[in-house]
Amino acid sequence: MNFNFKEIFTAFMVLFAVIDIIGNIPIIIDLRKKFGHIQSEKAALIAGFIMILFLFLGKSLLNLIGIDVNSFAVAGSFILFFIALEMILGITLYKDSDNGTPISATVFPMAFPLIAGPGSLTTLLSLRAEFYIENIIIAVLFNVILIYIVLKTSIKIERIIGGNGIQIIRKVFGVILLAISVKLFTHNIKMLFL
């Protein structure tokens, strides 16, 4: 075992920044309003499972279906772009089917692609090239715990911030998410044409 605190901390911070669970609070609150109760434990565990599974099988799985990491990231940038538009413009682009339930919302779009999204999955592939896998797994687990805490306390956070505060944060983070989606798109589209 090659446990290294510096690697764990670095991988944790990189994943924390990419997942941006704090910035996703407005989206989480919005999903709770749309679907009612969302299972925090289930969302955190499914997201963690997807990330760890992708850490081991991601590149092989993408190669198997003939998709490279850059194409995957470009597709992810579109998802982030549309979520950002919803946040900024106050419109609904994502419509669940009539039989949408809190359980389906827990899995999609909460666990995937909001938490374990293209950004975090491509980041995991990048980290794997640099760090030992056991350190990355620990970093993922720490992020899952943090995700669970934020999901569990999002209602309290909403009460503290208030409706207007949530709207302001939602618009600000919408612009940030839009910028991230554009950066993800431009970086990876360039790589596709090299």
The CB density around residue 61, as the number of other CB atoms within 10 Å, is 13
* Predicted local distance difference test score (pLDDT) of residue 102: 64
Per-residue pLDDT of 108-130, as tens digits, reads: 888 887 899 877 888 898 788 78
- How many structural domains are present in the chain? 1
Q: Kindly report the length of the chain.
A: 194
- d(CA 135, CA 28) in angstroms, rounded, equals 28
Q: What is the largest CA-CA distance in the chain?
A: 49
Q: Note whether 125 and 17 are within 8 A (CB).
A: no
Which residue positions in the chain have pLDDT lower than 70? 94-103
DSSP state for residue 116 in the 8-state scheme? S
Residue 129 CB-density burial (10 A; 0-12 exposed, 13-18 middle, 19+ buried)? exposed
* Predicted local distance difference test score (pLDDT) of residue 103: 67
Predicted TM-score (pTM) of the model is 0.74
Give the domain range for residue 184. 5-94+101-192
* Predicted local distance difference test score (pLDDT) of residue 98: 45
Q: How far is CA 37 from CA 31, 99, 170, in A?
A: 9, 15, 20
